[in-house]
Structure 1
């Protein structure tokens, strides 16, 4: 059972990508949905557009932060996964996955000619989709 309803506006944006980028973005989208579906901590996802990018957020308040995916217009890669730059996620990911390519405090970048490290990306996605819930748990544990 899917925990997300397809958004036709998002699918239209994805359809506008080149064939290679579309396939990569659809793979990331699938990983996001599968990761959400595999964790009760995530709950239902909403698919929407933010800044013109396919975006995925939890419906449950204060549980996760938005995950965005898009082609990469920088020189860092061909497509990327983005999170809120005010979060500590990319900093945490740098420590966990030092061999990946990061863009500031908001993104991880991938190349079309390199296999996507699916297990690592699933972990990143889960961390993002449970970011606020886990942050609140860390604060409670420290109290």
Structure 2
């Protein structure tokens, strides 16, 4: 399977190696990240890369923090979305979206395959990540 819209062959290969359920979730997350960036002119274009072997996205504008997501063989029934643990983003997410998202520590959202994908809550958290620095500079809070 090839993905002509991927930034490079390494990222496409990473997605190709996911099992079908994980690939579907990862492609959905990726699509939402790009949709969010397109819908907010202050975010702008994204850099898509592999960081620590995991797909990662960051606004070229510097408006937000890096978002990573991955499926791991050691936890085969879930995908995780990672944010910089030095930020308060997961705490913010946990306090405002705890009914809809399962968080781990101060760095990850867990998306279990046996649960419906929490579209609105996840899009909200992804949007916060893409605008994290901009929101801190503009309003002092997320």
- Please give the per-residue CA displacement for 1:51-73, whole angstroms capped at 9, x wherever unaligned: 10000001113x11000010156
Which ranges in structure 2 are unaligned for 5 or more consecutive residues?
A: none
**2:81 matched residue in structure 1:** 81
Alignment of 1:138 with 2:139, yes or no, is yes
Distance 2:74 2:88 in 1: 22
Q: Alpha carbon RMSD of aligned pairs, Å?
A: 2.0
* Structure richer in strand, relative to its length: 2
How far 1:41 moved relative to its partner?
Answer: 2.1
Task: State the aligned residue count.
Answer: 136
Distance 1:72 1:81 in 2: 12
Query: Residue 5 of structure 1 contacts residue 46 of structure 1 at CA under 8 Å; is this kept in 2?
Result: no
What is the TM-score with the length of structure 1 in the denominator? 0.87
Distance 1:19 1:57 in 2: 25
Cα distance, 1:110–1:72 mapped onto 2, change above 3 Å: farther
Cα distance, 1:42–1:5 mapped onto 2, change above 3 Å: farther
Distance 2:73 2:139 in 1: 35
Which ranges in structure 1 are unaligned for 5 or more consecutive residues?
A: none
**2:29 matched residue in structure 1:** 28
The secondary structure found in structure 1 opposite 2:116 is coil
Larger relative contact order (Cα-Cα within 8 Å, sequence gap ≥ 6): 1
What is the TM-score with the length of structure 2 in the denominator? 0.87
Query: Residue 72 of structure 1 contacts residue 109 of structure 1 at CA under 8 Å; is this kept in 2?
Result: no
**1:91 matched residue in structure 2:** 91
For residues 1-143 of structure 1, the aligned pairs below 5 Å read 6-61=7-62, 63-72=63-72, 78-99=78-99, 100-139=101-140
